[in-house]
Amino acid sequence: MRAAGELASGEAIGAFCLTESHAGSDASNTKTTAVLKGDKYILNGTKIFVTNGGWARYLIATAMTDPGKGSKGISAFVIENDFPGFVIGSKEKKLGLRASGTFEIVFDNCEVPKANLLGTEGGGFRTFMKTLEAGRISIGAFSLGIAQAAMEASIKFGKERKQFDTAIVEFQATQLKIADMATEIHASRLLIHDAAHRKDAGEEFGRYAAMAKLFASEMAMRVCNQAIQIHGGYGFIREYPVERFYRDAKLGEIGEGTSEIQRIIIARSVLGMQ
């Protein structure tokens, strides 16, 4: 399939279509359907929160091929943006990450060749869950980068901003915030590196990816909140970058599974329940 080569070379952009209005944390509740007719599957349904959906040449999407089997009846398909019945819906207006386009994608009797089934029928749910596991490492790294930038901006501002004829980094209250930032950022980096190492080594890494994503995303929110506090009133206006960091960081606690879902994954793994 030419999609792999074009995506790997950067000639084409890809997208990941999983979430639906009633299938977020409960991804098994997929309502999009795929019915095999001759040599094509006919897809009907709507996906939401699709990153790059309006620009992607290729999209991987889940659809129910056997409704009677629950999550084991979900299959995955490679969709091309010129397939009949492929419709780009609305572009979302978001709190943060506005440089990243988030779209609604509609399948209106979308015709997908049988050869574009990804894997086997009924294997889509497992495929997507494994994809999300790896994606959690990326979300952790994304959160870490924002937190690092927020701390660096705070240090720069703190050295320049004076109150009572003294740079505010000289005040112990500011130093305590910087110390907490640096410690949590370093801890997050170690968790992310550990999860990535386990994945690269071919080891089981799902629990560790969830830990890295959970800690780093919540850490980023704490760091960005304190960065705004260090900036004072300036932190609340767009002239300084920390207000954007704060808005952008929030997605880390939601994307690739919410913080609540990560805690469930971690607990079940520790308890041997999965």
Residues taking part in catalysis: 256
The CA–CA distances, whole Å, from 43 to 36, 79, 119, 156 equal: 9, 10, 17, 53
> What percentage of the chain's residues is helix, strand, coil (to nearest 5)?
55, 20, 25
Token pair 């009572």 in the structure block, residue:
164
> In 3D, which of 187, 241, 227 has the Cα closest to residue 211?
187
Q: Is 186 exposed, middle or buried (0-12, 13-18, 19+ CB in 10 A)?
A: exposed
Cα 174 to Cα 32: distance, rounded to the nearest angstrom: 51
